[in-house]
Structure 1
Amino acid sequence: MRHFLENRPGLAKLAGEVARFGSVGALAYVVQLGVTNLLWALTGLPVMAGQVVGTVCAIAVAFVGNRFWTFASRARTGYGRETVLFLVMNGVGMLIQLGCQAFSLYVLGLDGPLAQNLAGNVVGVGLGTLFRFFSYRTWVFPEQHAPEDVPDPDGTGDGTARRSA
C-alpha cells in the first residue's frame, strides 16, 4: 500500500487529509453526542433544540482542528473569510442533519432515544460529514497554488505587474 501511495502523491495527500479530517470529526462527534444527550436528559430541551446546540458546540471544535491541523498546508485566505465560509458550510451540514432528524421524528413518527440518535447522530452526521469534507476542501480551505500557477498579466515572467508611467 505504501508503494502505491508513494507513486500517487495526490492520493497520498488526500488520504492524509481524510485521516486528519476523520480524527477531528471524531472528536467533534463525541462533543456533539455528549452535549446533545446531556441536554436531552438533564434539561428536557426539545429534540431539535438539543440537536442544534450540540451541533454548534461540535462546529467550534471542528473549526479549530480543521483550520490548524487537517488543512494546515492549504492556502490561508483570511481568518474572517474562512470563518464565515466554514460557518455557512456547517449551516448546510446542520440542515442536512436536522432534515434527517425531522424526517424520522415528524414523517416516520420515531421519537425514542435510539431513533433520535440514529436519525440525527448517525445518518444525519454521516451525510453532513460527506458534504463538509467536500466543501472545506473546495471552498473554505482551497489548494495553495504555486507561484508559477499565478497568471502573469503583463508577460514579465516574474509574477509582478509593471507599472505604467
Structure 2
Amino acid sequence: MSVVETVLAAIPQPYRSVAVKHRELLKFALVGGTTWIIDTAVFLVLKATVLAEKPITAKIIAVLVATIVSYVLNREWSFRTRGGRERHHEAALFFIVSGIGVAVYTAPLAVSRYLLLLRVPEVSLLTQEIADFVSGQILGVLAGMAFRWWAFRRFVFPDEGVRRQVSAGAEPRL
C-alpha cells in the first residue's frame, strides 16, 4: 500500500470522497508546502549570510530553487495525468509562468520594505524581520500559489487524462 493510499484510508468519510475528488489540488498543495519549506530555508539562509543587505535578491534566488523542485514534483505527481504539450514546450511554459510567479511572490515583500518602509532604521530589527516573513513567506507564497495553480492548469498542463491514465475499474489515486 502506497503512502497516499495509507493516508486516504485514514481519512474518514465523507472527507475521503472530497480528498479523492480534489486530489490534484491536494497534491499541488503538498508540493507547494514542500517547496515552501525549501523556499523559506534558502531565503532565511541567504538573508542571514551573503545577501543580508539584499532581501529581494535572496527571495528571488530562493523562489528559483524551489521552482526547479516544483517542476519535477508537479509534472510527475500533481499533474501526472495532465499534459497535452511536448515536454520542452511544457517546461518552457512552466518556467515562464513561474517567472511571472516570482513577481507575484516578491511583490508583497517589496511593498512591505519599500512602500510601507518596514525596514531598519524606520522600524526595529524585530519588526523588520516579522514584516519580511509575513510579506515574503506567507502573503507572497499564497498569492503566488493561487496564480500558479490557475496558470498551470490553464496553460502548462491544459488537457486532462492524456498521460498515464487510470484504468477504468481502478479507484482514482490521490
TM-score (norm 1): 0.78
The answer to whether residue 27 in structure 2 is matched with residue 20 in structure 1 is yes
Provide the residue aligned with 2:152 in structure 1: 136
Structure of higher RCO (CA pairs closer than 8 Å, 6+ residues apart) = 2
Residue 38 in structure 1 maps to residue 45 in structure 2: yes
- Asked if structure 2 preserves the Cα contact closer than 8 Å seen for 1:21 and 1:70, the reply is yes
Task: Kindly name which structure, 1 or 2, has the bigger radius of gyration based on alpha carbons.
Answer: 1
> 1:122 maps to which residue?
138
The structural deviation recorded for 1:75 is: 2.5
Length, aligned pairs only:
142
Q: For 1:135 and 1:25, locate their aligned partners in 2 and report how far apart those are by CA, in whole Å.
A: 14
Q: Which runs of 5+ in 2 are unaligned?
A: 1-11, 120-127, 163-174
Identity %: 26
TM-score normalized by the length of structure 2? 0.74
Change beyond 3 A, Cα 1:145–1:68: closer
Shift of 1:120: 1.1
Match of 1:55 in 2: 63
Segments of 5+ residues of structure 1 without an aligned counterpart are 147-165
Q: Deviations over 1:29-85 (max 9, x none)?
A: 000000010001121251110000000001011100000000001124111111111
